[in-house]
Amino acid sequence: MASGIALQLFYGLMGSWTAYLISVLYVEYRTRKERDKVDFRGHVIQWFEVLDGLLGRHWRNAGLFFNCTFLLFGSVIQLIACASNIYYINDSMDKRTWTYIFGACCATTVFIPSFHNYRMWSFLGLLMTTYTAWYLTAAALVHGKLEGVTHSAPTKMVLYFTGATNILYTFGGHAVTVEIMHAMWKPQKFKLIYLMATLYVLTLTLPSASAMYWAFGDALLDHSNAFSLLPRTPFRDAAVILMLIHQFITFGFACTPLYFVWEKAIGVHGDRTGIFRRAAARLPVVAPIWFLAVVFPFFGPINSTVGSLLVSFTVYIIPAAEFMRTVCMCI
């Protein structure tokens, strides 16, 4: 438990630092372009464009690969998680069938134009995760320790680092940082807001994770979903439903940058001809995500792989290296 708490604090701090670096690079890129009279109306700046403008096409290609791959599998994970959660309320259908259903629901995000339209959804998602986290904390404390519970912690190095990568993934939302800043009226404030958000997330994750581990111990190793260890009550059902809605929002957050990349690739980004034309253009992005979630419904392995490889580069290595190259001129 001590390692888990320490890693959450460390990854949260480092994630806030690299978010600060990205915000500095975004402002630098935008300032240079606006000095050259570039008009960004109808155009959403993305991370790979910042890399291209400041360091060239090789950095752009690396950023594009890692970000798009991370967002692709992040979207797949959200669909798999939806099917996993709803199964604890209604098990009349198998999880793969639920994945079909939620894939259709999440495909409606093609109609949401940009991150400007997620403002209210973001606030609602915050309330939903707050309820769920404190429900898990309270439910674990009320339940008490499971009879014969053991707290052996990871017995193998692979289990230890699997847990570490899952924590890393928790603080790895940097793939959408630039798009969110572009949607803000004052993007210079993003770094402070991100730090405050990280501190708030810690108030949710630390109590809930500690309480669940105290109550259930090693039983958590055999259950990929914490809801499965808690008795079914109206409070648990409410938490599951709220998490389903939150995962829909998260799917939109992860998929929208992919929509932008695809729109730019086919030349319809910024096209104001109509919402239905834009939605039709985005469907080829949703289809493979839906397909992968149905074919590979393995939440754990995908989550660990994304955390260890993609988040490492997307969140830490590339932003830090670009900052040193652009601002510090150290390499």
Residue 203 has a pLDDT of 93
pLDDT in tens, 109-127: 999 888 888 888 888 989 9
pLDDT in tens, 159-197: 788 778 878 877 777 778 888 888 888 888 888 888 998
276: exposed, middle or buried (C-beta count within 10 Å: 0-12, 13-18, 19+)? exposed
The residue extents of the domains of the chain are 2-35+47-328
Residue 331 has a pLDDT of 47
Rounded mean pLDDT, 290-318: 78
Q: Which two tokens stand for residue 90?
A: 């209604």
pTM of the model: 0.89
Q: Among the residues of 36-154, which ranges form H helices? A: 47-55, 57-86, 95-106, 119-143
Rounded mean pLDDT, 209-213: 91
pLDDT grade for 273, boundaries at 50, 70 and 90: low
pLDDT grade for 299, boundaries at 50, 70 and 90: low
> What's the mean per-residue pLDDT of the chain?
86
Query: From CA 311, how far away is CA 177, in angstroms rounded?
Result: 13
User: ∠ CA 16-61-59 to the nearest 5 degrees?
Assistant: 60
- Of the ranges 96-105, 220-229, 260-269, 284-293, which one carries the lowest mean pLDDT score? 220-229
